A and B are shown apart, each in its own frame.
Chain A
Amino acid sequence: MSRADIIFLLPHLMLTLGAVLVMMAIAVRRNHFAVYVLTCLTLIVALYFLPKTASLPHNVGVLFVVDGLGVFNTMIIMLAALAVALMSYAYFDTREERTGEYYMLFILATFGACIMVISGHFVSFFLGLEILSVSLYGMIAYLRKRERSDEAGIKYLILAAFSSAFLLFGMALIYAATGDMTFEGLSGYFSAFDELPILVMTGVGLVVVGAGFKLSVVPFHMWTPDVYEGAPAPVAAFISTISKGATMVLLVRFFLAIDGFRFPVVLTIFTVISIASMVVGNILALRQQNVKRILAYSSIAHFGYLLVAFIAADELGVEAVNFYLVAYFATMLGAFGVVTVLSHPERDAELLDDYRGLLWSRPALATVFVVTLLSLAGIPLTAGFVAKFYLLASGISTNQWLLVILLVVNSIVGLFYYIRIVAVMFDSAEEREARPAGYVGNFATLLILVVLLVWFGVSPQGLIDVIRNLVGVG
């Protein structure tokens, strides 16, 4: 490994260093605040060491490809992780559990996601995904005394391990047929074919199953609502943003490398998944009374939308995926941030009733929630609208008319359940017990997220330019 290689991997190395430091700090003395500060510092230092755009792209061995797509998404993931860390402090400070190990798992999970977005080889793909999932098992089941946290942990454990076995077997089959594991080498192999041989096709199918589970797209979505409901709110935010986003970027990289959409079979599979996710996600969300479950189904539907741009798979499509991920990250973090702030030490604020009259009792918080819900619904002047517009543009430019029409119809259906939550918040206030005191970090995060959502909604050009420059490099 040369000096340059190490410089390009510095952000990732900083994360591993941070995880070790946190572990040692816990061994010396348990202090929630110190560990939390250490975690935030780790993330900030890692962000500082992100490679400069001028020097991209750079291959580190065969395992990693540090290009514009990778660096941009590493940055997004780390910023999102920072937001989740800020939320987590307030959340775990009011609960009786031991807090130190959470941050170690948290940094490792972030590390896994950052490895995924720069991986250019099956080994780094699989290891990144496993570092992410194994840390997530622990994070989901972290509130040991809460029954539902344990149940969510055991469900996620079995299904995630199941899906990664599929993923691995798929990789092994592709390796069996091609004798290569780098995306670069596979791209040469795939371009020689007009039709996929049966072994490779099975392999790609199994990889899609494994990744589809992580993305929680229909029909691999069964775990999502249960895990979101049972997991601590900040962890649910982590799963819905970082874990899914990293997998999406990895899929984009993989399918661009092998030019997978030349093959009608692959195209059909993803079209069906996209349609199913949009429709099922939205319809199941309609009848929910639990806000965390609504957000879970909404995230399923959102990844159905996102696949429209993924299927387009051209330059506009990749741009759209990146823009959508930024908007989606900010929105979901905002929504789960509100859930976190309102959560009671005994249980999370997840019932619709917990939000009744919120606009009158906590106007600032309610405003934040309204903005995030409108952004999820894709109302103009929020980032969600521009993101959805981008998806439509990329869908239309590649003539995916069926998908485009379904996207629009589903957005309208989606509007209904988002507005229902808003309506509940407008209801007359009722007596509610006093909440634990607020934390500065929480409110600062929420404020920044809302400003970002509106800013990207009103003038998206700045972000679009950044994405275009970076993704264009790779």
Chain B
Amino acid sequence: MIPIENYLVLSATLFSIGLMIVVIKRNAIAVLLGLELMLNAANINLVAFNLAHPERLDGQMFAVFVIIVAACEAAVGLAIILQAYRVFHTAVPDSISTLKES
């Protein structure tokens, strides 16, 4: 059996990669991809650590909910990005700046 620490290392690595993508990438769609990666990193943790309590399924159940939430977030997110693209003709949030300190 794979030692439980390995799951932790894997999920932390994935989370960090997702974090890097969100911070570095400028395109909003790439940022959404990074966010999905971060959520799924947490999912790996939830499912893996359910192994320690096989009689309870709370970790796996939570993971299913997270998948649903991630799908909703992506759907609404893409809709908003599309709308912003229609108005601003760009999907790069940094180059949109109608809101400023006065």
Q: Which A residues contact B (CB, under 8 angstroms)?
A: 122-123, 126-127, 130, 134, 137-138, 141, 144-145, 147-148, 150-155, 157-158, 161-162, 165-166, 168-169, 171-173, 175-176, 179, 181, 225-226, 229-230, 288-290, 293
Q: Report the tally of A-B residue pairs with Cβ distances under 8 A.
A: 127
Which residues between 35 and 56 of chain B lie within 8 Å of chain A, taking CB atoms? Answer: 35, 38-39, 41-43, 45-46, 48-49, 52-53
Q: Is the CB of A171 within 8 A of B69?
A: no
B72 CB to closest chain A CB, in angstroms? 5
**CA A152 to CA B18, docked complex, whole Å:** 23
Identify the 4 closest CB pairs spanning chains A and B, nearest first. Answer: A172-B45, A165-B38, A172-B42, A168-B42
Q: Which residue of A lies closest to B56 (CB)?
A: A179
Instruction: Among A141, A161, A225, point to the contact of B83 (Cβ < 8 A).
Output: A141
Q: Is the CB of B8 within 8 A of A176?
A: yes
Instruction: Among A152, A165, A173, point to the contact of B99 (Cβ < 8 A).
Output: A152
A122-B62, A165-B39, A179-B52 known; A158-B76 Cβ under 8 A: no
Can you show 14 pairs from A to B with CB atoms below 8 A apart? A130-B73, A141-B84, A150-B83, A154-B81, A157-B76, A161-B32, A161-B35, A161-B77, A165-B18, A165-B38, A168-B39, A169-B38, A175-B59, A179-B52
Q: Is the CB of A138 within 8 A of B99?
A: no
Residues of A within 8 A of B28 (CB): 154, 158
Q: Is the CB of A290 within 8 A of B102?
A: yes
**CA A148 to CA B99, docked complex, whole Å:** 7
**CA A157 to CA B31, docked complex, whole Å:** 11
**CA A165 to CA B41, docked complex, whole Å:** 9
Q: Which residue of A lies closest to B18 (CB)?
A: A165
B6 CB to closest chain A CB, in angstroms? 12
Q: Is the CB of A137 within 8 A of B80?
A: yes
B99 CB to closest chain A CB, in angstroms? 4
The majority secondary structure among interface residues of chain B is helix
A294 CB to closest chain B CB, in angstroms? 10
Q: Is the CB of B102 within 8 A of A288?
A: yes
**CA A127 to CA B66, docked complex, whole Å:** 8
A123-B61, A130-B73, A161-B35 known; A176-B80 Cβ under 8 A: no
Instruction: Among B11, B35, B98, point to the contact of A148 (Cβ < 8 A).
Output: B98
Residues of B within 8 A of A144 (CB): 83, 87
**CA A418 to CA B72, docked complex, whole Å:** 40
Residues of A within 8 A of B83 (CB): 141, 144, 150, 153
Residues of B within 8 A of A157 (CB): 76-77, 80-81
Q: Is the CB of A161 within 8 A of B88?
A: no
Instruction: Among B35, B46, B53, B93, point to the contact of A154 (Cβ < 8 A).
Output: B93
Q: Which B residues contact A (CB, under 8 angstroms)?
A: 8, 11, 15, 18, 22, 28, 31-32, 35, 38-39, 41-43, 45-46, 48-49, 52-53, 58-59, 61-62, 65-66, 69, 72-73, 76-77, 80-81, 83-84, 87-88, 93, 96-99, 101-102
Residues of B within 8 A of A150 (CB): 80, 83-84, 87-88
Q: Is the CB of B65 within 8 A of A175?
A: no
**CA A73 to CA B80, docked complex, whole Å:** 31
Q: Is the CB of A293 within 8 A of B62?
A: no
Residues of B within 8 A of A175 (CB): 45-46, 49, 58-59, 62
Q: Which residue of A lies closest to B72 (CB)?
A: A134
B50 CB to closest chain A CB, in angstroms? 9
Q: Which residue of B lies closest to A135 (CB)?
A: B76
A176-B49, A181-B58 known; A171-B72 Cβ under 8 A: no
**CA A126 to CA B65, docked complex, whole Å:** 9
A127-B65, A176-B8, A289-B102 known; A165-B35 Cβ under 8 A: yes
A123-B62, A126-B65 known; A151-B39 Cβ under 8 A: no
Q: Which residue of B lies closest to A123 (CB)?
A: B62
A297 CB to closest chain B CB, in angstroms? 11
Q: Which residue of A lies closest to B66 (CB)?
A: A168
Q: Is the CB of A171 within 8 A of B42?
A: yes
Q: Which residue of B lies closest to A228 (CB)?
A: B99
Q: Is the CB of B76 within 8 A of A134?
A: yes
Q: Is the CB of B98 within 8 A of A151?
A: yes
Q: Is the CB of B45 within 8 A of A130?
A: no
Residues of A within 8 A of B52 (CB): 179
Q: Is the CB of A153 within 8 A of B87?
A: no
**CA A293 to CA B69, docked complex, whole Å:** 31
Instruction: Among B22, B43, B58, B77, point to the contact of A123 (Cβ < 8 A).
Output: B58
**CA A147 to CA B88, docked complex, whole Å:** 8
